[in-house]
Amino acid sequence: DAGVIQSPRHEVTEMGQEVTLRCKPISGHNSLFWYRQTMMRGLELLIYFNNNVPIDDSGMPEDRFSAKMPNASFSTLKIQPSEPRDSAVYFCASRPPGQGNEQFFGPGTRLTVL
């Protein structure tokens, strides 16, 4: 299996621009997670989906952030408008059925907002 696939791997944009991050989970996994890693806050969950339905979005920082999962093999995380404080590494992870099962992480997208 190819593992969790994320794109782009690096993104540099200017403040105010829209940013879209993409994730393809591992085939057969029914849960998808978006995490963010910053120096100040470490790794923290933004949102997760179960069977394409958002379950917990309590970590989404504000209305500028939105996430969708239109089907079992694709998810997006969008920031509009972007701000310099959004600069971070964004990880996507997926998990097979079962709440306590192992999560597998993608390579991450390093976002820099100038």
Partner 1 sequence: GIQVEQSPPDLILQEGANSTLRCNFSDSVNNLQWFHQNPWGQLINLFYIPSGTKQNGRLSATTVATERYSLLYISSSQTTDSGVYFCAVSFWNQGGKLIFGQGTELSVKP
**Closest approach of partner 1 to the CB of residue 44, in Å:** 7
The Cα–Cα gap between 55 and 96 comes to 16
**Closest approach of partner 1 to the CB of residue 16, in Å:** 26
Of the residues 31, 75, 82, 94, which one makes contact with partner 1 according to CB under 8 A: 31
How far, in Å, are 12, 51, 100 from residue 108 at the CA level? 14, 22, 22
Query: If 0-12 CB within 10 Å is exposed, 13-18 middle and 19+ buried, where does residue 70 land?
Result: exposed
* Structure tokens belonging to residue 50: 């179960």
28 binds partner 1 (CB under 8 A): no
- Find the part of the chain contacting partner 1 (CB under 8 A) among 14-22, 35-43, 67-75, 80-88: 35-43
**Subset of 41-100 contacting partner 1 (CB under 8 A):** 42-45, 48, 55-56, 89, 91, 93, 95, 99-100
Nearer to partner 1, 5 or 45 (CB): 45
Is the bond preceding 8 in cis, omega lying within 30 degrees of 0? Answer: yes
How far, in Å, are 52, 58, 67 from residue 63 at the CA level? 20, 12, 11
Site residues for partner 1 per CB under 8 A = 31, 33, 35, 42-45, 48, 55-56, 89, 91, 93, 95, 99-105, 107-108, 110
